[in-house]
Each structure stands twice: as C-alpha cells, then as structure tokens.
Structure 1
C-alpha cells in the first residue's frame, strides 16, 4: 500500500476513493479499522470512520488506530480526509485528530486544504468559499450538527489545535510546487489556498515527501502521480433489482433533490418527534418500501427551522441519533426483501446504513457526480452522497447508472 486515507465520515471516504481510483490507484474502502491485513495489490486504503461528530477522545483514538493499521500495511503517506466545507464543532474534531496524527507520524509541516473546485469549494486568502459565497453565508451556518459560522480556516483550526496555524497564499501557490514547499513552516498546520484543479495538482506535488496532510477529496488529485501512476476509469458491472432512496441530509442541495424525486416517486417522510418517541415500526416501513412499483424515497430531510425546533425539543444529538438508528434498521430490512440498489443522502445517514448492512469493505466504481461514486458491497449497489453534492436529479441518475455496466 502506498497511500493511507483516514476519512471522518462514510461519504467522504467514497469521495476521495473515487478521486484516487480515477487517478489510477487500486483502491478499497474499509468500514472501520480492518481486523486483517490488506490485499497487497492495493495502492490505497481508505478507512471510513464516523468520527466527524463523535466525542473528541473517541475520534482521536479511532483515527490513531486507523493510522497505525495503514502504516502497518506499508502506507508511505497518510491523508486525514475531512469535508470540503471543513465542518466541525468549536472543540474539534479536525484539530485534535490532526494534532494527534502529526505527533504519531512525527510530522513537521502539515498541508491543510479542503478545496474542491469542481464542487465549488475554494480557499482564497485563508477563507473557504462555497461557489461565490463565504462558507458562513452558504447555508452551512445552519448545519444541524456542525454549523459553520466562520469562513476563516486559520481561526477555525487555530481554535481547535495546539499547534501553530500558518497560511500559504494564492500568489505562492501559483508559483508551483517548489514555492509551496519552500513556504512550509515546521511544526505547523498550513492552510493552503487553492482555487483551481491546477492549484491542487501543485499542492499534491509539494506534498510528495510529507508524512501527513489534510483536506477534502481534491487534495488527493496530485498524489497518485507522486507514485508513478496514471489516470484510469473505474469499471462497473451492472446490478439490477429493486431500488430505494434513503435521505437524512437537510442540506439545501439534498432538499432540492428530495423535491425533484418526490415529483415522480412515492415518498415516506420521517418525523424527528415520532422517531424520538419510538413511534415508527421499521417492519411496516420496509413493507411499504417493498410494495412500491418504482424506487421510493424514505426521508427525514427538513427545513432548518423544523430541524431547529426538533433540536430545541429533544437536544441537538437526540433527534439525529433516533433517525440514524431507524435508517440503520431499515436498510437491512429492505435489502432482505430484495432491494439491491440504494441511494443514500447524508454522511451520518450513510454511516448508519452501511453499519446496518454490516458492510466491511466497499469496491469503488465510476462517478455519478463530482465527489460521488457508485460503490459495491457484494451484490448490492450503493451511492453514498454527501449532503451538498449532486444536481437536482441525482437520485434518479444514480439508480439508473447502477443498472448499466461501464
């Protein structure tokens, strides 16, 4: 294994897995830290954790265990993969995990760059933009678990980390890998500007000899070439059978996708209040899903006002945990009934579904949209979508792609 990835959620793991696969690497996505050795033919291993919103100590412990396993498989470089919106709480978990990994790997300077231009994420003057809006004006300020109210990544990471936080500006990045490398400060996390894919390629080249870096999936664009690998398209063998969409994300993009899909498909909405009260019968919902003649939608996606009301009534994490538990139980129930194509929206929801299915390793397939590949678990096709990714017709497009070999 050449490259080891520690992803702080399940959709992020698939996202960076796709980037590496399209750049020519043989990639496997592992659900949690494996108990056995990796296939020696793998170029990259991506360990998907559910550490973005976990307690800080738990996130650090799990990330160190993932790092140790990847290093034991021969990984020469470790990437902490975080969301391209860098979302976290004021306490972490990006800073504490990054500090612990830097100490474990004896890393001096650590490049930190969540930019993903293809999906509208760019870093300029140390500030994170979503398209033409600052992060804190993009809708992410209303995220139910990790609201982002500051676009200055230096302040965000500085509040979480015990290390110095530096900055490599755009004018330096435009001068290429050599200039970026010369600008690195030892024993510091370096927020690095990137506006275009070419910037990310240069960042990847500058990171060639670094033991650790951190970013969104875009940061991986320039890494495979450091190991002498060239681009190649992932293959896919068609999976047919019944399909369904499970959505727990409340992002603006996902709510648009829910509205689009509901116009032509049967839908069932999960209420946070009823989920907390334990009023849903999973077997009955599964029976409803399996009775539909076309792929249905089961969702808890709601307007931020509704989400805030549920949080006020039950506590920030209580409603989310109840909904995730329901999806974790529903997914294996409908798969047992014959569903073979699943589209899942939301990082936490994806984690719940994959855990519920008992998946341990996912095979990365071709892209459905920027940052979202098809993945395979046995004879089950999945598309695990981060809340903010994909166009309004994403659900239908993903279900259709699963049935076509590529």
Structure 2
C-alpha cells in the first residue's frame, strides 16, 4: 500500500477514496479500498490506497486521538509511505474539537513538520483564500454550517480556528506562491518553521500543484480535494500503474434513508417527495418508543419499486427544540440506531441498493451493513456526484451503497444515485 488515509467519518472517507481512485484524467488513480474502522488483518497486496473511516469527528478528543493512532499503526504496517488525515471540507469542529489534537498526535508519531492544512474542495464549492474558508461565495461562518447541530462553525479563519485547538504554530501559504508552481510551493513549505501551514486553493489546479509539491511528505491534512494530485506522484515514479474505477453497481430493490439536516439534503428531500413516496420520521415518537425500524421497513416495502424515502431531516430551529428536549447525543445515537436497524432489515428483504444522506447516519449504516455481510473492505466504483462514489461490498449477494455527506450532491441526487447504482428487479 502506498497511501494511507485516516478519515474522521464515513462519508468523508468515501469522498477521498473516490478522489484517490479517480486520479487525474486518463492516467487514472490508485486501486483503492475503504475500511469501516481499523482492519484486524493485512490488506490485499493489490490495494494501493487504503482509507480507514473512523467515527472520530465528534468523539471525545482522547478517543479520537487513540483511534487515529491505532489506524496509523495499521497503515504503516501495510507499507504506506504517505499518510493523509482527512476531515470535512467545511472544517466543522468546535474550538475544543479534534482536528488539532489528532493532527498533532499524527505529526508527533511521524516526526513531521510544515504540514499542509487544506480543506478546500472546489468541485463542491469549498475554497480557501487568505486563510479563510468559503462555501460558494460566502464565508463558512455565514453559511448553513453555523447552524450545524453538532459542530457549528462561527469563524471562517482556518488559521485562527486551528489555533484554538493546538498549541503548535500555524502558518499560511498564500495563493500567489502556489500559482507559481510546484517548485515554489515546495520551497514555501520548506521555508516555513511552523508545524502546520494553511494553504490557499480556489481551483482544482491549485490542489494539483499542492499535490506535486507534497511528493514524499509523510503527513498531509485536508478535505478530499487535497488528495487530487497525490496519486500522480506514485504513477509517474512507476510505483503505481494508474487505474480507473469500474462503473455500475447491482440490480435489486432500492431505498433511501436521509438523516441529515443540512440545507442541501433538505432540498434533495423536498424535490424527491414531490414525485416519490416519502415518510417523515417523527423524532419524539422514536425517542419515546412509538416508532421503530419495523415501521420504516413496512413503509418502504409498501412502496417498493418507486424509490421510497424515509427521512428525519428538519429545519434547524425544529432540530434544536428536539435536542433541547431529549439531549443532542441521545437523539443522534437513537436515530443512528434506527437507520442501522432499518438498513439491516432491508438486506434481509433482498434490498441491494441503499442511498444514505448524512455523515453520522452513513457511518452507522455502513458499519452495520459491513458487519452483517462480514465484508470490512468496500470497493470504490464510479462517482455519482463530486465526493460521492458507489461503494460495493459483499461477495455472494453484493450490495451497492451511496453514502452522501449532508452538504454534498445535486438537488436530484437520490434519483441519480439509484440510476447509476443499477436497475430495479
């Protein structure tokens, strides 16, 4: 294995896995596999990039650090020469969050410095300029992320925000130096005496330049966009041959589970429910035991063949009221359990295409499905929308998953995903 990725949630792992698998243009990328949690056995020798998905994004700091270091040791044991710490392209963490502590722990273990920090992902509207993170044409702190139920973001200055989480020095790599090319970018990183360097990037070409400048860097951190130029280094050096992800998925019954409250997901839900059967989950009913997975499964079965959707997505003010009543962690845990139980029950009814919206929801569902199928490695296939590939797992009766971060995907993502994943049977 050449590149090892430690991702702090499942959908984040999927989107960087897709980036590594695609690579750039005709030269392709790396043969990539995604793992739900840290594997307990060695990986196949044909895998060139391994992506470990953790649930460390909103975990206690000590647990996030411990899990990340355990993932690091496994990746190093597989022969990885470059490690990527992948976090969300909206850098969603709290002032006491995990990005800084985990990055520090990895840097200590790898004895690394001048480490790039770059959550830019232009394909999904995330860019960094003068150290500030933008979502589209607005600052991150003025976007919908300011209302995130678990990790609200109130400051778009990544250099300052990271400074809240670490005592290490944080520098800035401005766009004019990156525009001058990989050599100048490498020189700028070498000249910095800081442990971390926040790098500007507003176009994919800037990420490709950063990738070239990071050839040989033991540790890189960022959103999935930071991996855009990394496979090329290994392909051009002859360590990898370059591959293209397979298209298609599997035929079978389909369902959509949405647990995200992001603006993008709410828009996708609104469009889908105009022409498809949709079931709004009453969260208080769930919390008080009046609604369970059997109810969701019954609705989906009743409308099988017409892309049925069940969702818990709601407006921020409604979400806050429910969280105030039952507790943030309790609501999140119960909904994750509900969706996981539903997905596993659907497998028993021969559902083979499942779309999931929401980072935490996707992680819970993917872990449950992987455990049920005893299939820890997920094959990365064609990309549906930027950052969202088709994931295949299982041998005898394979299952196709599309796991979408709340903020990702076009407004018609649900129908598009099911179409690319395969046909109804």
Match of 1:76 among 77, 81, 90: 81
1:249 matched to which residue of 2? Answer: 260
Query: 8 Å contact 1:28–1:364 — kept in the other structure?
Result: yes
3-state DSSP class of the match of 2:180? coil
Q: For residues 193 and 344 of structure 2, what CA distance do their matches in structure 1 show?
A: 48
Tell whether 2:302 aligns with 1:286.
no
Matched, 1:102 2:113: no
* Structure 1 counterpart of 2:12: 12
Partner of 2:175: 170
Q: CA deviation at 1:180?
A: 1.7
CA contact (8 A) 1:18 1:371 kept: yes
Distance, in Å, in 1 between the alignment partners of 2:39 and 2:243 is: 27
Residue of structure 1 equivalent to 2:26: none
Distance in 1, matches of 2:272 and 2:67, equals 37
Query: Quick check: 2:248–2:420 contact (8 Å CA) kept in 1?
Result: no
Gaps of 5+ in 2: 24-28
Mind listing any 5+ residue stretches in structure 1 that lack a counterpart? none
Alignment of 1:67-216 (within 5 A): 67-184=72-189, 185-216=192-223
Tell me, yes or no, if the aligned pair for 1:107 and 1:187 is still in contact at 8 Å.
no
Instruction: State the distance in 1 between where 2:224 and 2:241 align.
Output: 17
Match of residue 372 from structure 1: 388
Residues 31, 243 of structure 2: 8 Å contact kept: no
1:22–1:231 CA contact under 8 A, matched in 2: no
The 3-state SS of whatever aligns with 2:336 is: helix
Count of residue pairs the alignment pairs up: 404
Using structure 1 for the length normalisation, give the TM-score.
0.97
**Distance change >3 Å, CA 272–CA 68, structure 1 → 2:** same
| Secondary structure in structure 2 of the residue aligned to 1:318 | helix
The equivalent of 2:418 in structure 1 is: 399
Q: Secondary structure at the match of 1:15?
A: helix
Partner Cα separation in structure 1 for residue 300 and residue 167 of structure 2: 49
Aligned-partner Cα distance in 1 for 2:79–2:348: 38
CA contact (8 A) 1:275 1:319 kept: no
Task: Determine if contact 2:249/2:390 at 8 Å carries over to the other structure.
Answer: no
Pair 1:25-2:30 in alignment: yes
Using the size of structure 2 for normalisation, the TM-score is 0.93
Q: How far apart are residue 28 of structure 1 and its match?
A: 0.3
Q: Deviations over 1:165-213 (max 9, x none)?
A: 1100111111112222222224511000001111001111111121101
RMSD: 1.2
Structure 1 outlier segments of 4+, above 4 Å = 229-232
Aligned to 1:390: 409
Q: SS of the counterpart of 1:376?
A: strand
Is 1:308 the counterpart of 2:313? The answer is no
Partners of 2:249 and 2:340 in 1: CA distance: 25
